[in-house]
């Protein structure tokens, strides 16, 4: 399965947003800086996510984005479906009988397993793992 840059960056940005929003809105500039992603690129991604009801935007000096509470329960599969046009593992390359056999026997099964895995992981799961693995490293205190 090939996942586009839009989906990879979108997922990274959503995890970052959820981990850093707590009770306030987060600017795209701060997400862009932490994740080393162009702010312009994030703007296009967040337009899609806002339209899908995953994030809420507020304009102004203290504005930014916040994840809609229910969106934490959304599956990674659903997020990728919002950001991707096609989640298939591979597409058939020809009308050859052998290629169609491989498509039905292998690639369709692989796609189904990947989709089931992505459907079993929620945004909340990813945020929890991120904060347990990544965030403690940034909270080191030196005396």
> pLDDT digit string (tens) for 6-33?
999 999 999 999 998 877 899 999 999 9
Q: What total of structural domains would you count in the chain?
A: 1
Buried/exposed 101-111: b ≥16 CB within 10 Å, e otherwise: eebeeebeeeb
Matching residue, tokens 């693995």: 133
Task: List the beta bridge partners of residue 64.
Answer: 58
- pTM value? 0.81
Question: Could you give the percent of the chain with pLDDT greater than 70?
Answer: 86
Domain range for 45 is 5-84+122-138
Instruction: Read off the CATH number of the domain in which 21 is found.
Output: 1.10.10.10
Q: Is residue 143 part of a domain?
A: no
- Report, in angstroms and rounded to the nearest whole number, the Rg of the chain calculated over CA atoms: 18
């Amino acid at each position: 399965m090939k996942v586009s840059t839009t989906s990879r960056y979108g997922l990274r940005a959503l995890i970052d947003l959820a981990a850093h929003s707590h009770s306030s809105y987060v600017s795209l500039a701060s997400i862009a800086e932490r994740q080393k992603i162009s702010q312009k690129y994030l703007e296009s991604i967040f337009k899609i996510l806002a339209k899908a009801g995953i994030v809420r935007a507020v304009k102004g000096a203290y504005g930014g984005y916040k994840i809609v509470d229910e969106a934490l329960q959304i599956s990674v599969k659903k997020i990728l479906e919002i950001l991707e046009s096609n989640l298939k593992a591979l597409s058939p390359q020809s009308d050859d009988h052998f290629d169609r056999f491989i498509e039905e026997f292998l690639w369709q099964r692989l796609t189904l397993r990947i989709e089931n895995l992505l459907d079993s992981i929620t945004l909340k799961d990813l945020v929890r793992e991120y904060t347990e693995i990544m965030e403690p490293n940034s909270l080191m205190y030196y005396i």
